[in-house]
Structure 1
Amino acid sequence: MTDQAIADVRAFNRFYTNLIGVLDEGLVDSPFSVTEARVLYELAHGEPTEVAELRRLLEVDSGYLSRILARFEESGLVHKQPSTTDARKRVIALTTRGRKAFAQLDDNTVDQIAGLLADLPEAEVRRLTGAMTTIRQVLERTPRPESYVLRPLVAGDLGWVIARHGARYAQEYGWDQTFEALVARILADYAAEPDPAHQAGWIAEVDGEPVGCVFCTRKDEHTAQLRLLLVEPAARGMGIGGRLVEQCLRFAKDAGYREIMLWTNDVLADARRIYQRAGFELEHEAPHHSFGKDLVEQVWRRPL
């Protein structure tokens, strides 16, 4: 752990608490503090609860919780009643007035969040909520999600593909910016002459965040070309690469192509294994110097 990482987390905490008004006297224009709102939430979403269980759920000091409950009882928001499982024990439940107070608080919270998201494009909302899910999964140490979706391209995806190819190949293979320039030219040609009957691209997403891509383009009248297959390291091992290639093959066959080919380099071992499993066979290889490295190019092909 680095000092910068700690500083980044603290900076985010300051930003977000200021953004949603956590440090204000009343949460979302209500008379309740954050902890008081959490007490109302737990009581509204569960059965009548013993004080000890409520303290365990909220992880707050018992004296502080007792003072909150005393104020709530005085205000008519909660009342104590015998437990249905043990008549010797008393549990806390919301009154009708307490449920109305929570409903208003809940409506205010929904309105506040809706206001925060209102001016964001749909892609940015997916990015935001995906990042929030990632934060929870990392801090709760939950297993990585095993589900993903493939979707067609939307506005902004081509820029993501260019940026991630440039960054990923520089980090993993030391390739220079001429590779990123090649990717940009490929996508510029793709976008300049739209041909949805014969060319398409797909993005793989996990929790609303792009993690992979592939393109099927026209090589000639009878031949399709698989291009720009990429899967981010954090999403590898989920079968995304194979699924992207499968999607490309299905599209090429439905588009009427007789065969499909691809150009790659021998250092891309993981991608090569995906191509082999999909039925591609090596047709040609030769040394060349590109992207600041001495490489061996390969052409793979398979019938459809």
Structure 2
Amino acid sequence: MISNSQIFSIRRFNRFYTYFMGLLNSSMYGSDFSLTEGRLIYELANSGTVSAKALCQRLDLDPGYVSRKLKVFEKIGLVRREKSKGDGRVVLLFLTPKGEEVAAELAVKSAEDIHSKLGHLNSKDLGAVVDMMASIEQVTSGQKAASKILIRPYRVGDMGWVLEQHGVLYSNGYGWTKGFEALTAKIIADFMENFDPVCEQAFIAELNGERVGSIFLVKDQEAATARIRLFLMDPKARGLGLGQELVKQAIDFARDCEYEEIVLWTNAVLKAARHIYEKAGFTLVHEEMHTQFGLPMLGHTFRLKI
């Protein structure tokens, strides 16, 4: 149980931090935007594709407030709306070129503000401050501090790694033939050729700067349905919860795009992956035997309503 003296110390730090960072000021870094408005612009600039509903959830803001702010942003030319190519009922938000300029200006001012407040510190003291900030974030959010974990959208060079890892891991671990590697190559090629950034994405998991996992979320043939593909986790990274985080990232992205359900196909032999799917709420809806990868195995189809 937290003591009164600890409560006092936390409140004292909060007062210091809000004053030190200028959080009580009416504008953000002397701009025309409040802190909350700046956060909305930041999310729009860094989320790729996002809906108004997702913005409310991420920032824990009142939908009415967000709606009013977005209308103002549209009026002054910072934001545009676009219907999803995958589902015309879904409206996604994007920054206009003018909005991107504003976001870039705020980012520069943020960096300048941090430099003005902490730039006088020597490298040892600055490192200590950054480490303590990371510790506060990790402890209060329940993150594991032992390893640096990152899940990010794919970038140039990742697709070659995804293909290689699928070929090596499934051949060495399960004896699957070159047919599986060929299928992986086709999935990657189709993704790259038909990629719709509005409602599709591939995510890469990193552990201490090294790629260790992947997952793709793409449009399915069924309306309002997304499909998970190429979910992979390097054995050396298992047990850290990265697999669950990758699947959660795909589900969150699908929810932001307002898909109605997610479907995926896997095999019974992949017990760890099946466990993650089931833990995330997926339900087995179909199974059948096949020899697609050289060995008799049982294929499983899972679905999740979102």
C-alpha displacement at 1:256, in angstroms?
1.7
Within 5 A, what are the aligned runs for 1:116-131?
none
Distance 2:268 2:239 in 1: 20
Amino acid at match of 1:183: T
Within 5 A, what are the aligned runs for 1:157-168?
157-168=158-169
Specify which of 292, 301, 304 is matched with residue 302 of structure 1. 304
Aligned partner of 2:37 in structure 1 is none
Aligned partner of 1:61 in structure 2 is none
Report the count of equivalent residues.
162
Within 5 A, what are the aligned runs for 1:226-241?
226-241=228-243
C-alpha displacement at 1:296, in angstroms?
0.6
Aligned partner of 1:250 in structure 2 is 252
Aligned partner of 1:288 in structure 2 is 290
Within 5 A, what are the aligned runs for 1:1-304?
145-219=146-220, 220-304=222-306
C-alpha displacement at 1:214, in angstroms?
0.4
Distance 1:221 1:257 in 2: 9
String of CA shifts for 1:39-97, please: whole Å, max 9, x gaps: xxxxxxxxxxxxxxxxxxxxxxxxxxxxxxxxxxxxxxxxxxxxxxxxxxxxxxxxxxx
Distance 1:224 1:259 in 2: 6
C-alpha displacement at 1:194, in angstroms?
1.8
String of CA shifts for 1:187-207, please: whole Å, max 9, x gaps: 100000120111101101112
Distance 1:207 1:289 in 2: 37
C-alpha displacement at 1:165, in angstroms?
0.3
Distance 2:149 2:223 in 1: 33
Distance 1:150 1:227 in 2: 16
String of CA shifts for 1:120-159, please: whole Å, max 9, x gaps: xxxxxxxxxxxxxxxxxxxxxxxx9433100111111011
Query: Does the 8 Å contact 2:147/2:208 carry over to 1?
Result: no
Amino acid at match of 1:170: S
C-alpha displacement at 1:166, in angstroms?
0.4
Amino acid at match of 1:172: G
Query: Does the 8 Å contact 2:243/2:276 carry over to 1?
Result: yes
Query: Does the 8 Å contact 2:148/2:209 carry over to 1?
Result: no
More relative contact order in 1 or in 2 (CA 8 Å, sep 6+)?
2
Q: TM-score, with normalisation over the residues of structure 2?
A: 0.52
Q: TM-score, with normalisation over the residues of structure 1?
A: 0.52
C-alpha displacement at 1:212, in angstroms?
0.4
Distance 1:292 1:286 in 2: 15
Distance 2:146 2:175 in 1: 30
State the superposition RMSD in angstroms.
1.5
SS in structure 2 at match of 1:170: helix
Aligned partner of 1:66 in structure 2 is none
Instruction: Provide structure 1 residue ranges, at least 5 long, that are not aligned to the other structure.
Output: 1-143
Once structures 1 and 2 are overlaid, which stretch shifts more, 204-213 or 276-285?
A: 204-213
Instruction: Provide structure 2 residue ranges, at least 5 long, that are not aligned to the other structure.
Output: 1-144
Distance 1:162 1:240 in 2: 19
Query: Does the 8 Å contact 2:228/2:264 carry over to 1?
Result: yes
Amino acid at match of 2:148: S
SS in structure 1 at match of 2:155: coil
Distance 1:240 1:208 in 2: 14
Amino acid at match of 1:204: A
SS in structure 2 at match of 1:175: coil
Distance 1:199 1:260 in 2: 12
Distance 2:234 2:290 in 1: 26
